[in-house]
Chains A and B, each alone.
Chain A
Amino acid sequence: MSDSDNKEVSSEETKGENEEENKAETKEAGQTEEKEQDSSQAETNANTNADQATESSESKKPEKKGSKIGKKLGKKDSKVFKEEFSEVVETSEEPNPDALPENVFPLFMTSKTQEIYNCKCDEDVTEENPFKFIPKSDILEDMKMRAAVCDFHPFKQQILDYPGEDVLIVYDYDFKHGQNFIVALTEEAKELLLKAPEGEEGEGGEDGAEEEEDDTVYLYVPPEPKDWVSLGSEKEIEESNVKELRRKLKVSVKRLRREFGAPVSFADRNVTDVKDGAVDCTSYDDNSFNIKRIELDKAVQAISEQVTEGTQTDWKYPRNANTQTYPREYTEDEQAALLATKECGDFVLEVAFEFHQALQQNEIMNVFYVDWIHLGDGDDVFGSKADNHLKEYQSFTDLQFSKDKMITCIQWHPTIKGVVATSVAEKLSFDQRIDNAAKVIMTPSLILIWSFADPIHPQLILESPDDIFSFAFNPTDPNHIVGGCLNGQIVMWDIAAHADRLKQQRGSNRNKKRTVLPGFEDPNALKTPIVRYCAVSSIEHSHKAAVTDIQWLPDHMQINKMGVPQENASLQCTQLLSCATDHCVMLWDTKASKLQHTAMYDEKRKTQQPSGVADTFKHLDLTWKPILRVTLSKSEPGGDHAPTKFSIQERQGDRHALTSGTEHREADVTQTMQGGFHKPSSGKERTLQGVKTYIYVGTEDGEIVYVDWMPQKDQDTGKIQSKLFLLDMFYETSKSFLIMAGVFPPNLKHHKLDIFII
């Protein structure tokens, strides 16, 4: 049997060969050890295949190597098999769908066999219906008939032992288990196969059916109680339990009977005699109360008050109610009757008078007519009410020269009516000038002379080296103009050459009365002539800051080097005063000094004057020095006064100083402090006695000071310097203002000053 087994086995697997050898060797010793072995036994008996090997190999592999001896033949009791199988069941119970349940073996059935048992593939048994029950007797017969050729031969013993009548054959369509059929060799296996055909069938062919069935069948597996693992909690319980560890003790306390109620005598005992005589219960800090509860966890729950209230309202709904009235009326008869009564008649006559009065009153005049409201009604007819403010009459702008510039000074021409001169300067602050220095230098600084007849083109343009901030016409010779520059220089112009231009008034520029021959036209005829300055003061000796005010001295006086006002015989304005913010008032003379005069002739310096420039003041050019300089120093330290405007008492055209001087001569002695003097006249010029030598100066700080231009000999120091007086009365009010203009009224008596403060 074993040989035949071996043959069959060996034809299929090499593994079987090995096992056969083992079987041959350990045939005898196998029986006792079969029990120890598990499914390896079954394998050796049956046709082994890969699948089965997987099943059993899981449990068997480790044993295989070391258990050559263990492998035994399979001829043993079915009981043993069963035991082994049961072991197999226990150990390899993994629900491996591919693994065959126990006692189920793959079986190959040849076509002949299939014919015999009527279980041809795809005929009797199909994928869908893979089960076939073959009677046991048939198998046995077949085995007898064909012996080893029978497919069932390997299972012969099992078939013999098979308890049931029919053996279940399951068609294994996919050869899942290695062969085309599976045979169940025990009842349990049969049941299993039948019970769970879905899994196998699905594996065999119908996957879909298997899945469905898996989804729907949920078997409740109650949890199995596991062994209790101690984690130590029972010790706590043991500790808290009260156990009797020992027997209870009994103590009996007795006292002598005769001592009950016996008299006792007490004695005193000193505390200190005995140790422990007194027991102190001192107070001690119990730390348990030391812990301050600083943080409390508290919770508050608030619920809203709920009140149930009810009210009952009277619903007074508005109702529309209408009343319609009819006036009571009398019938005509009633009326007539009433009117006819005496009372009525009397009444009417009585009140008639009142009415007449009232009506007449109303006729005469309307007492409620308000005159005030209608006051100006009559004037509305002819235009608006009179303008009290200035209306611009004419404006003079030159697009080229005066655009975007500010006008720093404006003066009337002394003699020619309708001619004004304005000085224009750049609208830049000091810092801006520095920033734009290059540009500022290039743009020419001008004085524009306008005629009212021509508001577009200036009649004349005077050019100056720097922006002019104040200038003045010479009252006696209007062709001389002096101006004070931004840099402190004094500039002179002589416009004698163009004087007749100014005299022409009406549209003279364009309509030349003289006919001009073509070809000989002067292209510059229509252009405004530009006059260059003819003299500038010496830079060193000029002001060091911008000249804020410049005035010609009246023609009847002149001031000499000592500040003495003298009579000016020529009655021409030759001297001028200028003040600047460098705290100085300077007196200039336009006449050539003797020295200069001679120098010029001696050296014969006929330096070329630039064309078009008069040489009237050539002697002054670049060397002009002031005759007199009056510094406005403050008595307290902190800078000197910076004058913005000044005014002297003497007026151009007011000649009375010339005449009044003689009268005051005797009274001079007492007038030293007032600016008079008693210096005897020297030289051919007559000194003017009555002239007050004060200059009233308004300063940048808002103060008004007056200074005597004539330096007095200082009593204390012996120095000759000008005295400066401060007009205290103005100090407080004008402290924050800048004096812009001051006019000295020609009133000798009072030190009255009209001051315009801005």
Chain B
Amino acid sequence: MSQEIDETIKRILAHKGVIGAIIVNNDGIPLKSTLDNSTSVHYASQIHSLASKARAVIREIDSSNDLRFLRVRSSKHEILVAPDHDYFMIVIQKDAAN
């Protein structure tokens, strides 16, 4: 299993502009990360709350709906978040066009 995870992550990282990827569990503790510890912890905590809030928004508007993917575009990066019930995964990609 972990092998597959590694492979997947490798493929993700192969994309142009990708800086790093983090897998975080429900409590916001990073499980696997390609970035250094402090950065991944930082991202994990921030994104965790953001993703929860986003999910709550979607569910508030339509309770049958659920958050599937979250993209936060900033001037320098794009943060891609895929939430799940137990885990969520974060990928940071640099602005490819520039």
Contact = CB atoms under 8 A, between A and B. Distances in A.
Nearest first, the 5 A-B pairs at minimum CB distance are A366-B97, A351-B82, A345-B1, A359-B15, A327-B41
Given A344-B5, A354-B68, 12 more contacts: A327-B29, A327-B45, A335-B32, A336-B2, A344-B31, A345-B2, A348-B4, A358-B78, A359-B15, A359-B17, A362-B78, A368-B73
Nearest to A360: B15
A207 B89 CA distance: 124
Contacts of B71: 358
Contacts, number: 102
B4 A349 contact: yes
Query: A interface, by DSSP: helix, strand, loop or mixed?
Result: helix
Interface string A659-698: 0000000000000000000000000000000000000000
A3 interface: no
A355 B29 contact: no
Interface string A312-349: 00000000000000011110000110111111110111
A737 to B, nearest CB: 57
Contacts of A358: 69, 71, 78, 80
Contacts of B80: 354-355, 358-359
A356 interface: yes
A363 B15 CA distance: 8
A266 interface: no
A516 interface: no
A352 interface: yes
Interface residues of B, number: 41
B46 to A, nearest CB: 11
A361 to B, nearest CB: 9
B11 to A, nearest CB: 7
B1 A351 contact: no
B31 A348 contact: no
A365 interface: yes
Contacts of B62: none
Given A344-B5, A344-B23, A347-B84, A339 B31 contact: yes
B36 interface: no
Interface of A: 327-330, 335-336, 338-345, 347-352, 354-356, 358-360, 362-363, 365-366, 368-369
Given A338-B25, A356-B15, A368-B73, A348 B8 contact: yes
13 contacts: A330-B29, A340-B2, A344-B31, A349-B4, A349-B8, A352-B11, A355-B91, A356-B15, A358-B69, A362-B78, A366-B95, A366-B97, A366-B98
Interface in B1-50: 1-2, 4-5, 8-9, 11-12, 15-18, 23, 25, 27-32, 37, 41, 44-45
A363 B96 contact: yes
Contacts of A359: 12, 15-18, 80, 91, 93
Contact of B23 (A348, A360, A368): A348
A345 B5 contact: yes
B97 to A, nearest CB: 4
Contacts of B86: 343-344, 347
Contact of B84 (A327, A351, A352, A368): A351
Contacts of B31: 330, 335, 338-339, 344
B30 to A, nearest CB: 8
A363 B1 contact: no
Contacts of A339: 1-2, 5, 23, 31-32
Given A360-B15, A369-B97, A352 B25 contact: no
Interface-central residue, A336, A340, A342, A351, by most chain B CB under 10 Å: A351
A354 B93 contact: no
Given A348-B89, A354-B69, A360-B15, A341 B1 contact: yes
Contacts of B18: 359
Contacts of A344: 1, 5, 23, 31, 86-87
